[in-house]
Structure 1
């Protein structure tokens, strides 16, 4: 089995901001695994909060590249167990695990959902994320992509007001992610107000 790694710098349509950082590009590692004429692809992104870079993931994977090439690939589950045993970061494992599942489906000649015994109509809808920005920009982003569920990044001095204004323009489900920007007191204060505004849950407020 051959392994290949390539870095991509993906430009974002909009500046993406959370409570602790902003960026206009996303560094991404694409990993591919090839066997018997088929190639599977996986992805993992750099994450400054966890001190993960494309280079660090690349170095981790290259350190065991010869072992990957000699691995007797039969199922992605066994390959995942092999990777965990090598002490790789979860980010590096993610890229290779995705590639292994993609490869397995191609080797079997079936989409993964069929191999898993399910169908394309069986999965929950994911959310579309709106980063922190001036309220008019956040509203424009929301209107640009009509969606039934939005995750709204918060961590400002006007968080409840932001949600209240966005609620005026959509009946979509809201999920809030403050990325550790609130105190316990702020969380307790904000929670019932946000519930009344149709917020489904709070993610990582503290």
Structure 2
């Protein structure tokens, strides 16, 4: 059965080591600049370039107020600087973001949806293609399989990492990274516990079918 494998340190897990913060802060700016250069984000485009929303999130994003319970689904990539400082973008993975506000504050979690067998790998690869098409404006909606919908409905209620506003963005307290709303989408950047590069994600609202 499909399970949720945490892609970022965005739930109440052991404290993030200081070196993860240091590596993220050192790599974030150069990686985002390389991403902008890769997709020529400073030039007008006839078709949408989804990752430009990530590259330009600090200039164009906002920390929009959050209300109630919110679930978002989208894609996550690992982005690294390769030869000559050029951005290397990994394969997209289907992921989800939960942000729930109560009387105490805003609680969040971010996760990658991980397959457990060949059938699920095929299904999630198809969903990744569909969400890529959606983000590029070639699709209007992406229907989710019933088991994925059920998984998200249960998981989204368990968001337990405190989220707060800082420097014009929402941040997961005690974790490296930030997320902002860019247009109608939520965009996030974060750090893996190990390895180079940064983790970037783009999410759209998920609405359960009636």
TM-score (norm 1): 0.27
**Structure showing greater Rg:** 1
Say which structure is richer in helix.
Answer: 1
Which protein has greater RCO, CA pairs closer than 8 Å, 6+ apart?
Answer: 2
Say which structure is richer in strand.
Answer: 2
